[in-house]
Amino acid sequence: MQSPRRQHWGKTLESICLPVGALLFSLVLFGIFCAAVGSNPFEVYASIHKAAFGNWRSFQNTLIRAAPLMLTALCTALPARLGLVIIGNEGALVMGGIGAIIVGLGLGGNAPPLVVQIGMALAGLLFGGLWIGAVGALRHYRGVNETISSLLMNYIAIAFLNHLVNGPMKDPSSLNKPSSFPIPAVDMLGVLPGTRIHYGLIYGIVACVIAYVLIQRTTFGFAARTAGGNIRAARIAGLPVGKLTMAICFLAGSCAGLAGMVEVAAVHGRANESLNAGYGYSGILVAFIARYNPLAATVVAVLLGGILASGGILQRVHNLPDATVLVFQGLVFLVVMYSESLYGRLAIFKERHEVKPTRQPAAVV
Amino acid sequence: MAAETVGWWGVPLAIAAGTMRGGTPFLFVSLGECLTEKSGKINLGLEGTLLTGAMSAYAISYLTGSPWLGVLMAGVSGMALGFIHAWLTQQPKVNDVAVGIAMIIFGSGIAFFLGKPFIQPSAPQLPTFDLGGWSSISSLQEALRISPLFLLGVALAPAMTWFFKSTRWGLFIRAVGDSPDAALAMGVSIKKVRMLSIIAGSFLAGIGGASLSLYYPGIWSERISTGQGLMAVALVIFARWQPMQCLYASLLFGGAQAFGPALQSVGITQGYYLFNAAPYILTLGIMILTCSPTRTISGAPGALGSGS
């Protein structure tokens, strides 16, 4: 038998190496794709690196994009521990942004900036939380598939946002891009001293750390993981599965809602279609690459934030359409999905005397 | 506007027209999803397939001048995406819902990337059957301009019912989806049947995309699909995995989609954007009504989503 310690290291190594390997392999695939459409892949890599991590200025850009990604990733990562696949990140983000703008416009100018900011954050948390909490409730009480319902609710949230910024909330001076009235500049979320990075990054990191502690170190998290592992066993053990589902979904949604608040209060200053710019969908990808680990999600969010930040330069320098970033994300996602099937099957991460895994039969075409 | 000549009749007329126009993509995608799910796998990525199909149809129609070649190409590009989905989801420990999400991102990425040059030019559209020639009302003529793709879809639904019920291959698919063990005992290759079902389903979804870009709305843009591919997945549940029910449900959804624009055409613009959410709210409402936490839905393939 192998020592438990050794096995532990093998597993840790595996869970680091496989996602990293998947990322590298998808970079290769992406290079082939670039070559196929007539761009030099090495120049594209160099541009991405320069735009994402090349200097402090561009790295700040990356971090600004990473902040909402950390928060939206939690919207998928937390329910995943319960065995739920929730992809309503975009909708929860939009609802959080709507909540924040309502409070921001209502209180703005009538209260101290700190109060306004706390109010906006709470509203973002609440709106996003209730939005995904409803998905959890539908799942528990009606057995509605949470993946489909959360995705449908994305479209409903976006329609609601469009209704608000084209109707009741519309600022008549915003012609090309219908927007709400802006919140007063003093109430905007500030930046970290000496940088252009707003406090949203701190929100993201703190939320991820709290989520990690909550899932890994508390009885609540233990109960959630138990229910995620075997729901029948959890019921027999007397765990309140319904309450757990809704609590986790509420927390998940509130994280994405906070991302919406950050986008409104720190980046745009108003609500408009820039809110549904895809941070929700990218957050799903972050959660999957990080294998639902909130701490890993912070690192992955920075990587992906860098890739999102490089979209502009790919367009300007290499004349690649803005969808290039989407293609790359899709490739990463597919390769990461494939890497799931390799866990426990690669000999290097195993003990020597263990039976070598049988080769997988090739897919029948 | 044309609606002035028919007054308030414009609303039901526009909804009826929208039912046939907007229902066509739903019809193809839901039949494709029905075929896929009958074999026991879920393909959530049909939204990406729909977009890729729409883009390829438009591009090929523009480049060759033949819209029918575009329709064929839409199906073929759908098959390519279907192959990726089928291969990945049959790897051990790979979750088909998660792969579906990946395929949505990948498929839409490919469609937007390759479709960028085709947003401006206008491609030849599919010919239509103009059944409204007898009428002098232009909006009635418009409503009775029926696409051959719609008729094809309507014919496909009973054909698929027959296929499942009365053919050898239909039996294989049902066996694989309901009870993989029984299928194995029959000597059927589960992998092969699922691979073919997913690829054929994606072919249909690609054609659904072609009906978006070559019939209605008849343009190619990045916003052409508004979640039809996803709603179709919910629609199949509502239709209890029966092709004929998919047909009725698709018409219902097409009608729901036309609701906002129909009201707008008679001058009701209040809440236009909210009416745009009607199909999603309808889908959600239907799911809430038809699902149950205690029993599985009748008609669901036994092995669906079980990963076996």
A195 vs B: CB within 8 A:
no
Are B106 and A159 inside 8 Å of each other by CB? no
DSSP code for B215: T
Q: pLDDT of B150-164, one tens digit each?
A: 999 999 999 999 999
Expressed as residue numbers, the domain containing A153 is: 75-275
Q: Which residue of B has its CA nearest to A160?
A: B274
Q: Rg of chain B's alpha carbons, rounded to an integer? A: 19
Q: pLDDT of A300-333, one tens digit each?
A: 999 999 999 998 889 999 989 989 999 999 999 9
Backbone phi and psi for residue A191, each to the nearest 5 degrees, phi listed first: -110, 155
What pLDDT is attached to residue B304?
Answer: 83
Give percent of chain B above pLDDT 70: 96
- All structural domains of chain B, each given as residue ranges with its CATH number in brackets, are 3-290 (1.10.3470)
Residues A33, B280: Cα–Cα separation, whole Å:
35
Say whether pLDDT at B140 is over 90: no
Backbone phi and psi for residue B256, each to the nearest 5 degrees, phi listed first: -65, -35
A-B contacts at Cβ under 8 angstroms: 158
What pLDDT is attached to residue A355?
Answer: 46
Q: pLDDT of B45-94, one tens digit each?
A: 999 999 999 999 999 999 999 999 999 999 999 999 999 999 999 999 89
Are A321 and B283 inside 8 Å of each other by CB? no
The DSSP element (H or E) to which B130 belongs, if any, is strand B129-130
What pLDDT is attached to residue A365?
Answer: 37
Domain for residue A333, yes or no? no
Asked if residues B42 and B98 have their Cβ atoms less than 8 Å apart, the reply is no
Domain for residue A208, yes or no? yes
Residue A136 makes CB contacts below 8 A (sequence gap 6+) with A79, A84, A146, A245, A246, A248, A249, A250
A155 vs B: CB within 8 A:
yes
Instruction: Please give the residue that has the higher pLDDT: either B133 or A184.
Output: A184
The DSSP element (H or E) to which A347 belongs, if any, is none
Identify the segments of chain A with pLDDT beneath 50: 1-2, 354-357, 360-365
Helix, strand, coil abundance in chain B, percent, nearest 5: 70, 0, 30
Q: pLDDT of B193-218, one tens digit each?
A: 999 999 999 999 999 999 999 998 88
Cβ neighbours of A155 in B, within 8 Å = 226-227, 277, 280
Q: pLDDT of B90-116, one tens digit each?
A: 999 898 889 999 999 999 999 999 999
What pLDDT is attached to residue B296?
Answer: 67
In three-state secondary structure terms, A355 is coil
Are B284 and A156 inside 8 Å of each other by CB? yes
Residues A54, A281: Cα–Cα separation, whole Å:
26
Count Cβ atoms below 10 Å from residue B95 Cβ, excluding itself: 17
B138 vs A: CB within 8 A:
no
Say whether pLDDT at B144 is over 50: yes
What pLDDT is attached to residue B46?
Answer: 95
What pLDDT is attached to residue A72?
Answer: 97
Domain for residue A33, yes or no? no
Helix, strand, coil abundance in chain A, percent, nearest 5: 75, 0, 25
What pLDDT is attached to residue B161?
Answer: 96
Residue B7 — pLDDT band, cuts 50, 70, 90? Answer: confident
Are A327 and B287 inside 8 Å of each other by CB? no
Give percent of chain B above pLDDT 90: 57
Residue B306 — pLDDT band, cuts 50, 70, 90? Answer: low
The tokens for B263 are: 């009201």
Q: What is the mean pLDDT of residues B301-306?
A: 79
What pLDDT is attached to residue A265?
Answer: 95
DSSP code for A138: I
B19 vs A: CB within 8 A:
no
Q: Total structural domains in chain A?
A: 1
Cβ neighbours of B82 in A, within 8 Å = none
Pick A148's closest partner by Cβ from B93, B98, B234: B234
